[in-house]
A and B are shown apart, each in its own frame.
Chain A
Amino acid sequence: MWEGAPDPGLYDYHPYRANDPRRRRIAWPGGKPVAVWVAPNLEYYEIDPPIHPKRNPWPHPAPSVVNFAHRDHSNRVSHWRMAEVMTKHGFPGSVSLSVALCQHHPEVVADAQSRGWEFFSHGIYNTRYSYDMTEAQERAIIEDSIKTVEDATGQRIRGWLAPALTHTPRTLDLIAEYGMDYTCDLYHDDQVQEVKVAKGRLASIPYSLEVNDHYGFFVYNMSGREYAETLVRQYERLAAEGEREDGPGGTVMCIPLHAYLIGQPHRIGPFEEALEHIAKDGRAWIARAGEIVDAWRAQVGAQQ
């Protein structure tokens, strides 16, 4: 990025129009108009982390009981509830992983692995923020992420969602340098897009804050049923736009989840109905993040 500039210089402007030379028409496998990926955040939050000068993790001095325990619910109860529903309807996960979960609760990581899910890094802990890290510190968390996930699962991570969405001006350049293929941190598009990096290539895959379960329940204050209805509307619109013959082709819908939210007993039933709707509709290419980026890269690679 252009550090200090008003426009960070992350990407060029690409109008949402077909046949614009800057936006090639995308075709997903099987002629599907919309790629749908589910991104469960499997996280570990420290009970008493060091305090970062720019952000305090908890609203109370440690232990912040409800906040810690709420997130712990994922690793004792709701991960399995969420994962079962996803597996039942044929949705693999692309996991945004606090990589220290591989040490703290390897059972959760092993469960995701056994379901054929893909892992990308969400930092070491969701209570350690990247702001103000030196380059050496940032390289250390990237190298730690690559090694930790490889040791635990055999997978080489291909993507990054910054821990608690905290960045430095060099994060995108560094992850590209380490050979990662995608970032989930940019929210400027409904299709996969190229990101400008110092060396190599990096794609931005649409994640989503707007239909993230955290936003649904704590920003927009939706009930479980309203959130499920929101997912269906988001899906229907992106499928319809991806189908347009005069449109820019394959769109991407991400469903970012936190088990401790979506896996609560009053929300999981309506959520299952939304997944069932998408699975039965037939227009969705249900895929993992890496597959979506690969299918896109295969079509635009020569152009870039």
Chain B
Amino acid sequence: MSTLPDSYTEYPKRGEGYDHDLYPWSNMHQRAPIHWPDGKSVAVWLCVSLEWFPITPEGPFKAPGHMVTPYPDYRHYTSRDYGNRICAWRMLDAFAKAGVKASFATNAAVAERCPELIAAVQEGGHEIIAHSTDMNGTIDATLGEKAERKLIGDAMTRLEKATGSRPKGWLSIARQQSFHTLDILKDEGLTYCCDWVNDELPYRFTNGLIDLPLNHELSDRQIITVQQKSAESWAQSMGDAFDWLTAESQRAGCGRILPIHLTPYILGLPYRIGALESLLADLVSRNEAWVATGEDIVGEWERQQCQE
């Protein structure tokens, strides 16, 4: 039997607070309350990922949804691309019909390859969030700081060029970062990222960047693709979450956020999109809902932080 070194039962970072200094501990229920515009209880944040998967996977790890079969994987390449050709347009129609604005977390490659789609997103009044270069643009600690700076810088430059403005928000692929990522995002002039799912309200990292948590458990990828539930079950879970958050917000006298993370090739299929349309119709009929973009939510939060 092998044995463990003595250091395995030594704990140099065992002390008050975290074993890292990326952000301080804070429990949500004891913070100064946030109040959404017009006394709304729950900010509903729709965030759509626009993803292009090269048929030649690369990068530190394979993004969820990436190629599966030996090259050339036509099956997955085309079914993912279907999201940008068909499903994203369905979602834009659904948002227009419900009269709501969303955030679109966009690969730079999608912005370059699908200019009509980006123009429609912008004409619809939606926000564009940076979402790396393409689905090979994953980040983890093995990438190295220099390559990571180049990757993030490249994504930002290309998105700025293709969309005409520099995104304020960033979503990493699979929400995965390295210990350098938060500082690189700050240096690139970003205001917020969506990767850390440890909270349900925005909070500030030690370096000043803001986290707007995009709950992965509520995503269509988690519920439909990973847990294999129907679109109707997904919608029921969103409804249950909204009901709970509304009641909790009213009890606590503090706003809440319902992040709804959507993937065109998952929820935008013909037999699933109806569940999204019904959910949106229900949510916009609720007086307690403020359907807002990530930028709007972060802006409101920042404004109220300054007043304290």
A169 CB to nearest chain B CB (Å): 10
Cβ A137 vs Cβ B8 within 8 A: yes
Interface flag for A66 (CB, 8 Å): yes
Cβ A80 vs Cβ B218 within 8 A: no
For the complex, give the distance between the alpha carbons of A132 and B3 in Å: 5
**CB-based nearest A residue for B211:** A69
B8 surroundings in chain A (CB, below 8 A): 50, 52, 128, 133, 137
Q: A137-B4, A266-B218 are in contact. Are A69 and B14 (CB under 8 A)?
A: no
User: Could you give, for residues 1-37 of chain B, a 1 whenever the CB lies within 8 Å of some chain A CB and a 0 otherwise?
Assistant: 1111011110101111111101001111100000000
B152 CB to nearest chain A CB (Å): 15
Interface flag for B89 (CB, 8 Å): no
Interface flag for B177 (CB, 8 Å): yes
Cβ A77 vs Cβ B27 within 8 A: yes
A125 surroundings in chain B (CB, below 8 A): 11
Interface flag for A15 (CB, 8 Å): no
Q: A50-B7, A66-B174 are in contact. Are A266 and B25 (CB under 8 A)?
A: no
Kindly name the residue among B26, B172, B199 whose own CB sees the greatest number of chain A CB atoms within 10 A: B199
Cβ A73 vs Cβ B237 within 8 A: no
Cβ B244 vs Cβ A48 within 8 A: no
Q: Which one of A6-14, A102-110, A188-196 contacts B?
A: A102-110
Interface size on B, residues (CB 8 A): 62
Cβ A63 vs Cβ B177 within 8 A: yes
Interface flag for A154 (CB, 8 Å): no
User: Could you give, for residues 70-89 of chain A, a 1 whenever the CB lies within 8 Å of some chain B CB and a 0 otherwise?
Assistant: 10110111001100000000
B125 CB to nearest chain A CB (Å): 27
Report the interface size class on chain A. 35 or more
**CB-based nearest A residue for B1:** A132
Among A131-159, those with CB < 8 Å from B are: 132-134, 137, 140-141
Cβ B14 vs Cβ A61 within 8 A: no
Interface flag for B134 (CB, 8 Å): no
B197 surroundings in chain A (CB, below 8 A): 66, 69-70, 73
For the complex, give the distance between the alpha carbons of A141 and B6 in Å: 12
The one of A64, A103, A268 that contacts B15, using a Cβ cutoff of 8 Å: A103
For the complex, give the distance between the alpha carbons of A100 and B12 in Å: 12
B229 surroundings in chain A (CB, below 8 A): 221, 223
For the complex, give the distance between the alpha carbons of A106 and B14 in Å: 12
**Footprint of A on B, CB under 8 Å?**
1-4, 6-9, 11, 13-20, 22, 25-29, 61, 140-142, 172, 174-179, 195-200, 213, 215-218, 223, 226-229, 233, 236-238, 240-241, 243-245, 248, 256, 258
Nearest 4 A-B pairs (CB), nearest first? Answer: A72-B198, A266-B241, A69-B198, A265-B241
